[in-house]
Amino acid sequence: MKLDQSMKIGIVGLGLIGGSYAQGLTAEGFKVGAVDVRRESVDFALENGWISDGRSSVDKDYIGQFDLIVFALYPKTFIRWIENYQQYLKPGTILTDVTGVKSGVVETVQKMLRPDLEFIAAHPMAGRESSGVENARKEVFYGANYIVIPTEKNTPEAVELCEDLGRVLHFKNISVLTPEKHDEMIAFLSQLTHCIAVSLMTCREAGHLAEYSGDSFRDLTRIAKINDEMWSELFLLNKEQLLGQMDLFEQAFCKLRQYIQADDRDAIREMMRNSTRQRVLFDKKGD
């Protein structure tokens, strides 16, 4: 199955990411509908021409028309939605998602899913520090990373369709990972960084220092403005992986602290040179 403009695509959950999918897909010539419990979100997307139609409750006939559905919900809400409403979907419908954690989500959904439906997991690695459809914009995906997370239950056709979706939305790197590899990687690259930012921002009274701060503090705390409902759920769903990555970081931090305590300048410099070498691998243009 190929992604083509005759397909009707549904977005369930019109928040920052769902709204950006809607805008991006409509801009690329697809017919897009949406469901969100918040009436204002549906109206906002309609007024902006990001969807051709939408509902603020789950209407059997409405959701039965989609060929492809993107779930942009929090993980547990997504699972409950499938439990309650998969009965209304058209046979052959492909489902995908944007969930930031895959273990405990992909397996659960695939296990309960009707055999004539297929769920192929994806993770668009993009976001902003503000939430809600009002802050959505399709450019958030341009040049970002997109990961497809198939299991043995998926067909090559669905994997390809899911990759196409990433391409159409202008993601740059499209890669494939297992749920386990995905969650280990995300624990380090994304969840640990949010833990660090939150800890740095809350470890002391700092508001009076704002006028002195340079770019480094601003950069390290940009993500300290955080959606607590979503991130706390993601942290706990990926708890073991996250705790493991937090321990690795803390060990390195304590080692550096010991070097400083001991006035061991050579060891500090060696650690900094290693840091510089590692960071170069992450350079990208304009960085």
Residues 219-248 that bind a copy of itself (CB under 8 A): 219-226, 228-229, 231-233, 235-236, 239, 242-243, 245-246, 248
Residue 84 or residue 274: which is nearer to a copy of itself going by CB? 274
Residue 84 or residue 175: which is nearer to a copy of itself going by CB? 175
Q: Among 145, 157, 161, 164, indicate the residue that binds a copy of itself (CB under 8 A).
A: 145
Contact predicate 144/138, CB 8 Å: no
How distant, in Å, are the alpha carbons of 17, 34, 127, 245 from that of 124?
Answer: 9, 19, 9, 22
Contact predicate 101/75, CB 8 Å: yes
Closest listed residue to residue 169, CA positions, set 130, 122, 131:
122
152 contacts a copy of itself (rule: CB under 8 A): no
147 contacts a copy of itself (rule: CB under 8 A): yes
Distance of CA 251 to the CA centre of its chain: 28
Residue 113 or residue 201: which is nearer to a copy of itself going by CB? 201
Count residues near a copy of itself (CB under 8 A): 86
Write out the DSSP string of 68-129.
Answer: EEEE-S-HHHHHHHHHHHGGGSPTT-EEEE--S--TTTHHHHHHHS-TT-EEEEEEEE---S
Residues 67-126 that bind a copy of itself (CB under 8 A): 125-126
Residue 47 or residue 210: which is nearer to a copy of itself going by CB? 210
Residue count of the chain, please give it.
287
Considering the complex, what minimum distance in angstroms separates the CB of residue 136 from a copy of itself? 17
Q: Among 37, 112, 176, 260, indicate the residue that binds a copy of itself (CB under 8 A).
A: 260
